[in-house]
């Protein structure tokens, strides 16, 4: 894993480049921590590295460029926006690695600018030429013949021109509102009669495809180029002097006054409306945009040089997903299908029809025979998690279903099963987390659909996000009531379950069933539940129990029985937990960390973290 070390407060290195053995034992020393934001940028660098890897299929490389760009958009909308909020509020609290918010913003810009340039080089110098050789071309208007331009001109007149709205900027026309992540053209025109120059903004419509196809070929022209080539239609009688593309990113982080909100759903909806008007946190401008125009945009949008990125080539590369979706199997990953878990599949002697699934009674019988651990995407989500919920909705012996929903898909079979269960008279409870970032609107829609069907919907806890993925099914059986549970690490989303590596446990152990009952009572009612039989629940007990387990390895470590801590995490930024891992390393315990994204722990410091190994894997699966 590449370190986020840029020399800021890092431990001293020897002539060989290695960290010198630390004499300091203060485990809160900022030199022992990597910056959260810079560590995330290194994660996104690993995403970009997939786009440069010749071993990755070509259209998947293009998709990684789109993912890299989309990740950056979200990073600015939330993380950079948060730092700017701190500065605006006069807060000067330092991060664990000792940086002020202002210093972090400067470090982000310094780290990111060459990365953005590398992404542009990868797209224009590597991927687009390779795509052209494979029959997919992104071409410039200047490279087209008369016949090709004629077809595009008709498309412009019939499909594009009616949607466009040129917006002048002068004393009678104030600078227009520019929506988040929208692509625009900054246009300078000259009045042919007076010679005066004027500025106007033309928005590239998001309702139209970003890449306009040429007839009978797999060649495409970016929509902004088509508009730029026809600006004379928008400004008749004017001379178009020049035009350049720019793009704006706004602060979209929701700030809820949850304690004062009478209705959390309404409060989230109000914040979503305000989100559209958040402060600008990034201005991307084409590298050929005149400095005078850049300066005017900076002044009108209230951004400085640190927030301004001059981009060589295409802006808004997240739209490349449109091209990556081409149905050309030889340019994609070889398809593969998850397999049903053996315990949740028909036995070979049953000879079921192709694609047959277990009946509802068979699903619960399989779980009664013992716990089932599934690992997605290798074990089928459809025949395990999805089937567990649909079976519960169908089974007449099931009395109640309780489930947390953090993120799900637009056509979620999970939500549809919960609706069917409620319509069949079962007691159904769904905790829909309205504060799931960038899924707030979708979750509001699901919450309303569930409520209309008679599901008891809870919107989460004040001051906390409910990130757990749990389901509880209460079933009447011959020997009494039995509780079946699913506890997992992945969202109840069949689409992401094919891309993310997650684990899930099915069980009907009484202790787990009782724990899930207590947890849902805590989530839906009034309770102060601090202890559970087997579950570890944050913020009540999760960190404390992990710390206890680390300490146990330290206490029992010996030459004959060496200790080992192995953790697989999405991110690691909790300073007390990092300090616990440093203590384990100093005690001689080996620590293996598999961390997909952010890592605030600095490995390889002699005497502190030299027994800690950090691995990050980014590839086809996340």
Instruction: State the catalytic residues.
Output: 467
- Tell me the CB-side half-sphere exposure of residue 219, using CA atoms within 13 A: 16
CA–CA separation, 524 and 457 (whole Å): 9
CA distances from 384 to 29, 112, 362, 438 (A): 46, 41, 12, 27
Question: In which residue are the tokens 């397999």 written?
Answer: 339
Contact 379, 456 (CB under 8 A): no
- Left if phi > 0, otherwise alpha if psi is -120 to 50, otherwise beta: which for 430? beta
Which residues in 528-597 belong to E strands, given as ranges?
564-569, 590-595
Q: Is 90 exposed, middle or buried (0-12, 13-18, 19+ CB in 10 A)?
A: exposed
CA–CA separation, 1 and 3 (whole Å): 6
Secondary structure (DSSP) of 429-453: EEEE-TTSTT-HHHHHHHHHHHHHT
CA distances from 206 to 57, 442, 603 (A): 28, 19, 44
Burial annotation 303-321 (CB, 10 A radius, 16+ → b, else e): beeebbbbbeebbbbbbbb
CA–CA separation, 316 and 172 (whole Å): 31
Which residues in 37-182 belong to E strands, given as ranges?
137-138, 166-169
CA neighbor of 400 nearest in space, from 520, 527, 534, 493: 520
Contact 22, 11 (CB under 8 A): yes
Neighbour count for residue 582 (Cβ, 10 Å)? 22
Residues ≥6 apart with Cβ < 8 Å to 550: 565, 580, 581, 583, 584
**DSSP 3-state of 607:** coil
Contact 163, 207 (CB under 8 A): yes
189: its two tokens: 């025109």
């Amino acid at each position: 894993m590449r370190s986020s070390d840029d020399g800021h407060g890092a431990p001293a290195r020897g002539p060989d480049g290695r960290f010198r053995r630390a004499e300091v034992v203060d485990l809160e020393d900022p030199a022992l921590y990597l910056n959260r934001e810079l560590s995330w940028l290194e994660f996104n660098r690993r995403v970009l590295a997939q786009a440069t890897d010749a071993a990755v299929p070509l259209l998947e490389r293009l998709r990684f460029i789109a993912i890299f760009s989309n990740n950056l958009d979200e990073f600015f909308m939330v993380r950079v926006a948060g730092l700017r909020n701190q500065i605006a509020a006069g807060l000067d609290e330092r991060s664990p690695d000792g940086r002020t918010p202002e210093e972090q913003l400067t470090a982000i810009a310094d780290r990111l600018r060459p990365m953005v340039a590398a992404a542009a080089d990868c797209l224009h110098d590597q991927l687009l030429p390779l795509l052209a050789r494979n029959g997919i071309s992104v071409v410039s208007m200047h490279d087209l013949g008369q016949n090709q331009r004629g077809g595009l001109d008709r498309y412009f007149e019939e499909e594009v021109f009616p949607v466009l709205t040129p917006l002048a900027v002068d004393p009678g026309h104030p600078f227009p509102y520019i929506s988040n992540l929208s692509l625009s053209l900054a246009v300078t025109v000259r009045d042919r009669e007076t010679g005066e120059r004027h500025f106007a903004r033309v928005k590239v419509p998001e309702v139209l495809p970003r890449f306009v196809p040429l007839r009978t070929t797999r060649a495409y022209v970016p929509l902004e180029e088509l508009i730029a080539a026809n600006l004379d239609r928008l400004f008749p009688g004017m001379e178009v002097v020049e035009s350049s593309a720019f793009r704006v990113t706004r602060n979209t982080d929701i700030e809820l006054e949850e304690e004062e909100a009478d209705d959390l759903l309404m409060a989230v909806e109000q914040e979503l409306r305000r989100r559209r008007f958040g402060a600008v946190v990034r201005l991307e401008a084409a590298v050929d945009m005149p400095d005078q125009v850049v300066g005017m945009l900076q002044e009108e949008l209230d951004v400085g040089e640190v927030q301004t990125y001059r981009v060589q080539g295409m802006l808004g590369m997240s739209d490349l997903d449109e091209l990556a979706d081409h149905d050309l199997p030889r340019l994609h990953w070889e398809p593969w299908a998850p397999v049903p878990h053996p315990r949740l599949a028909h036995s070979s002697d049953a000879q079921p029809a192709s694609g047959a699934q277990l009946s509802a009674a068979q699903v619960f019988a399989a779980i009664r025979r013992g716990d089932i651990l599934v690992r997605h995407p290798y074990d089928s989500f459809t025949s395990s998690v999805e089937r567990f919920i649909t079976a519960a909705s169908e089974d007449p012996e099931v009395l109640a279903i309780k489930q947390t929903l953090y993120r799900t898909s637009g056509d979620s079979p999970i939500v549809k099963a919960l609706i069917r269960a409620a319509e069949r008279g079962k007691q159904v409870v769904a905790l829909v987390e309205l504060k799931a970032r960038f899924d707030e609107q979708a979750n509001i829609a699901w919450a309303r659909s569930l409520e209309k069907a008679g599901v008891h919907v809870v919107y989460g806890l004040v001051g906390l996000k409910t990130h757990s993925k749990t389901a509880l099914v209460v079933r009447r059986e011959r020997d009494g009531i039995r509780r079946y549970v699913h506890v997992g690490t992945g969202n109840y989303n069949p689409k992401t379950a094919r891309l993310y590596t997650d684990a899930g446990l099915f069980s009907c152990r009484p202790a787990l069933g009782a724990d899930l009952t207590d947890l849902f009572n805590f989530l839906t009612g009034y309770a102060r539940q601090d202890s559970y039989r087997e579950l570890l629940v944050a913020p009540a007990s999760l960190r404390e129990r992990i710390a206890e387990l680390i300490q146990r390895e330290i206490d029992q470590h010996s030459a004959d029985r060496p200790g080992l801590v192995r953790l697989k995490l999405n991110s690691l930024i909790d300073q007390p937990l990092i300090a616990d891992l440093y203590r384990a390393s100093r005690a001689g315990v080996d620590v293996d960390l598999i961390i997909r994204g952010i890592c605030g722990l600095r490995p390889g410091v002699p005497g502190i973290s030299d027994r800690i190994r950090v691995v990050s894997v980014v590839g086809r699966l996340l």
